[in-house]
Amino acid sequence: MKSAATTTAVVWWPLSSKGLRILDLGSGSGRDAYTLAALVGESGSVVGVDMTDEQLEIANRHLDYHAEAFGYKASNVEFKKAISKSWMNWGWKITASI
């Protein structure tokens, strides 16, 4: 009997994530982006990139909810419609991407 292949993921995370700017490629409905938004704090930001209108509509629907839930004056998350590789042409300084 053959066993299924296993995958090991190595995750690096800085001791302090406050103030980071994170790029979430293939952000879908925004679930990971909102989790990251809490981790980077109000001084940080998260940019979610997806190419699906339906997913972006769901993700954008929850911007105000999460900002209020985290106690932020404004949302620190934005979502953009694009293919994952196109972000390299935007001239952004990104601290980390997922």
pLDDT, tens digit, 9 for 90 and up, residues 15-69: 678 999 998 999 999 999 999 999 999 999 999 999 999 999 999 999 999 999 9
pLDDT at position 66, please?
97
Whether residue 63 is contained in a domain is answered as: yes
pLDDT at position 16, please?
76
Whether residue 42 is contained in a domain is answered as: yes
Beta partners for residue 25, in sequence order = 49
Termini Cα distance of the chain: 35
Whether residue 3 is contained in a domain is answered as: no
SS3 of 42, please? Answer: coil
pLDDT at position 9, please?
52
Entry pTM: 0.76
Whether residue 10 is contained in a domain is answered as: no
Q: How far apart are CA 60 and CA 54, in angstroms?
A: 10
Whether residue 6 is contained in a domain is answered as: no
pLDDT at position 5, please?
58
Whether residue 37 is contained in a domain is answered as: yes
pLDDT at position 12, please?
60
Buried b (16+ CB within 10 A) or exposed e, 63-96: beebbeeeebeebbbebeeeeeeebeeeeeeeeb
Domain that holds residue 27: 21-97
Q: Give the count of domains, the chain.
A: 1
The mean pLDDT of 92-98, rounded to a whole number, is: 66
CATH number, position 64 = 3.40.50.150
Whether residue 51 is contained in a domain is answered as: yes
pLDDT at position 41, please?
96
